[in-house]
Amino acid sequence: MKQKLEALILQAIDVLKKDGILDGGVSPKFTIEHARDAQHGDFATNIAMMLAKPAKSNPRALAEKIVAALPVDSAVARVEIAGPGFINFFIDPNAQYQIVQKIHDDGSQFGLSRTGAGQRVQVEFVSANPTGPLHVGHGRGAAYGSVVADLLEAAGFEVHREYYVNDAGRQMDILATSIWLRYLEECGEIIPFPVNGYRGEYIREIAAEIHKASGNEYRRPAELLIENIPVDEPQGGDKETHIDALIERAKTLLGSGLYQDIFQVGLKTILQDIKDDLAEFGVNYQEWFSERMLMESGAVDEALNRLQQAGYLYEKDGATWFASSRLGDEKDRVVVRENGQGTYFASDIAYHMNKLHRGYDRIINIWGADHHGYIPRVKAAMQALGADESKLTVLLVQFAVLYRGEEKVQMSTRSGEFVTLRQLRNEVGKDAARFFYVMRRSEQHMDFDLKLATSRTNENPVYYVQYAYARICSVFRQLDEKNWARDLLEGMKHLPLLKEEHELNLIGTLARYPEVLERSALNYEPHQLIHYLRDLATDFHTYYNAHQFLVDDPALRNARLNLISAAKQVMANGLELLKINAPEVM
RNA sequence: GCGCUUGUAGCUCAGCUGGAUAGAGCAUCGGCCUUCUAAGCCGAGGGUCGCAGGUUCGAGUCCUGCCAAGCGUGCCA
């Protein structure tokens, strides 16, 4: 309907241009909005006010001329000029009813668009280090990222969902060493566990598995392990040097083959756990991209070479630096450390180069807000490599702070006492978890109240939408019990009987769905869809309380059934996109 | 210090990219179940949109400066 009005307005503008009222060169920049107040009709445009200045006219006078030039259309019942110069459109109800038929015809396809057709988008999200289970902080990125990806797909984009697996680097060595140390404990060795090691219970479990499967194959005496190792922090040493020395010792004592065994078991176990966790959360990927494979392919070296050729690398203090400050970053960044090892950033440059080579039209990274300082350097790298950095969009997701009622839930990675995503899912369920995560704008710092999400009573917003869906299902069950068959054609024919305010409101809301979906997708704002579904549920609940659907008059009854059936379809489509269950009974 | 994000009702948040009288939910108060699920509905109260300027027909929304909160500012990832 919006597009239709836009076309009509543009025609009117052309007429005015021909008549010399408007200068031919003016480009009409205007909006068409749903009127908030029913007094203002169904749609309103501000075009007269936008063009008043170039036309050297006052807005209301210009509006009169635009309205006069407006072509007649059967869908437009009436046009009014109001306020400072708004043009308000009143849509013919008969035109509005068509949406019910369209929803029925399109079914699960209703709302999908072709806006992004022919464009490929890559969405990378979560990408947590495989050094432990996902926690609730990752949950928000997972829910948000997956819905953004699904929304883009609904808007016609070809979407590639990807998880970047940091399976190389120091953190992974710390993981492997932590597992080995716990394994030695299993064997009966007495060893002090490093403060900087991974202390979670899952490390012990992996260690126990290895011990069960391989016995003492990886056992080495504790004396050899701690011999000449710099002391740990509690003993007055440096925890970083301490753990680095332990890693080196582990590699020496085990030899690279056995060390790799431990490393791989740790990686595989944890990565599999993450994959299962996400799948159960309704989050799926096309690709799990390995940092290690990237390095082995020589891509990192190649990226550095290209930066070198472009003149952006230099040596200082024994390290190799990327002159990112020349491209808008705060300062230059190290890409190769003094010890000859590439930094995480170096891999990331190669990774983004790889993404670019794959030819995506858009590259979307979803990061935790704590990584925001990282954006300028990645964009700088893309520029330095001659790439169009505007293809890259980084969406930041703020942290969720967990509450249980009034009480803040403490999280600490170090102690291993963090709340995992799995624990959250078990406590509040997949539906509520996804709903709550995506309910807020991603940049909003969010309070996640576990008590509210689990409450099975009035105050929980998740059930509000689901309840509306279940109620509609229930109406159709009642219909069967009364042995009244639903007559679809009869209902469609008598849609004009739906004249109640509640019915017209519901129809108007249903008609908005495609726009909401598209805006939600293009702005990467899933919360708009959530808010829409709540509005839709409200319209239905209100209608439900005000009127009876299963009335004796078959014409009215079937018309109403068609309307609520359309509402049911849109709710199902919206919830399906959010991967939230639409229950037939509650 | 600098940078990013945020600041809207008692609380948690929307506000359609600058539009008409700033909206929801929760909480508070008052009503509605002998007919389709009361996990619902109807009504009431509650606002200096952090503060101060600016831009214009028009600002919660844009620009500047303050104030406050969170995060960042590693040869960690």
Each residue of A179-197: pLDDT tens digit? 999 999 999 999 999 988 9
What are A159's strand-pairing partners? A121
pLDDT for res A455: 66
Greater pLDDT, A39 or A466: A466
Tokens, residue A376: 């300028």
Say whether A534 sits in a helix, a strand or coil: helix
Tokens, residue A200: 């979670």
In window 319-338 of A, residues with CB < 7 A from nucleic chain B are 319, 330-331, 334, 337-338
Residue A545 CA distance to nucleotide B31 C1' (Å): 15
Cα–Cα distance measured from residue A432 to residue A578, given in angstroms and rounded to the nearest whole number: 11
Cα–Cα distance measured from residue A301 to residue A248, given in angstroms and rounded to the nearest whole number: 24
pLDDT band at A416 (very low <50, low <70, confident <90, very high): very low
User: Is pLDDT at A417 greater than 70 in this prediction?
Assistant: no
DSSP state of A371: G
User: Is pLDDT at A384 greater than 50 in this prediction?
Assistant: yes
How much helix, strand and coil, in percent to the nearest 5, is found in chain A? Answer: 55, 15, 30
The H or E element containing residue A88 is: strand A86-91
Q: Give mean pLDDT, residues A496-507.
A: 93
- Contact (Cβ atoms closer than 8 angstroms) between residue A233 and residue A193: no
pLDDT band at A354 (very low <50, low <70, confident <90, very high): very high
Residue A27 CA distance to nucleotide B19 C1' (Å): 20
Contacts of A332 (CB under 8 A, 6+ apart): A321, A322, A323, A324, A325
pLDDT for res A413: 47
Neighbour tally for A276: CB within 10 Å? 11
Which of A220, A222, A223, A231 is closest to A253 using CA atoms? Answer: A220
Asked if residue A482 keeps its beta carbon closer than 7 A to nucleic acid strand B, the reply is no
Q: What digits encode the pLDDT tens for the residues A424-446? A: 898 888 999 999 999 999 988 87
Cα–Cα distance measured from residue A444 to residue A183, given in angstroms and rounded to the nearest whole number: 43
Placement of tokens 């203002």 in the chain:
A40
The H or E element containing residue A475 is: helix A461-481
Contacts of A76 (CB under 8 A, 6+ apart): A5, A8, A70, A89, A90, A91, A92
| Greatest extent of chain A over all pairs of C-alpha atoms, in Å | 97
Asked if residue A484 keeps its beta carbon closer than 7 A to nucleic acid strand B, the reply is no
The ipTM (two decimal places) reads: 0.95
Q: Give mean pLDDT, residues A337-356.
A: 94
Tokens, residue A395: 């969406």
Neighbour tally for A17: CB within 10 Å? 16
Tokens, residue A373: 């300082």
Tokens, residue A442: 């991603």
DSSP A33-78: EE-SSGGG-SEEE-HHHHHHTTTTS-HHHHHHHHHHHPPP-TTEEE
DSSP state of A234: G
Placement of tokens 């739906």 in the chain:
A498
- Contact (Cβ atoms closer than 8 angstroms) between residue A431 and residue A466: yes
Neighbour tally for A286: CB within 10 Å? 13
Residue A442 CA distance to nucleotide B74 C1' (Å): 27
Q: Which of A222-226, A410-414, A440-444 shows the lowest mean pLDDT across its residues?
A: A410-414
Q: Which nucleotide is nearest to A39 (CA to C1')?
A: B20
Looking at strand B, which nucleotides approach a protein CB closer than 7 A? 2-6, 12-21, 23-27, 35-37, 39-42, 57-58, 70-77
- Torsions phi, psi for A288 (to 5 deg): -110, 105
Placement of tokens 């702070």 in the chain:
A401
pLDDT band at A55 (very low <50, low <70, confident <90, very high): confident
Greater pLDDT, A388 or A38: A388
pLDDT band at A412 (very low <50, low <70, confident <90, very high): low
Q: Which nucleotide is nearest to A584 (CA to C1')?
A: B37
Say whether A123 sits in a helix, a strand or coil: strand
Render the burial of A172-200: b for 16+ CB within 10 Å, e for the rest: bbbbbbbbbbbbbbbbeeeeeebebbbbb
Q: Which nucleotide is nearest to A34 (CA to C1')?
A: B16
User: Is pLDDT at A137 greater than 90 in this prediction?
Assistant: no
In window 271-310 of A, residues with CB < 7 A from nucleic chain B are none
Neighbour tally for A211: CB within 10 Å? 19
Asked if residue A410 keeps its beta carbon closer than 7 A to nucleic acid strand B, the reply is no
Distances A437 to A273, A406, A541 between C-alpha atoms, Å: 21, 19, 25
Residue A333 CA distance to nucleotide B19 C1' (Å): 47
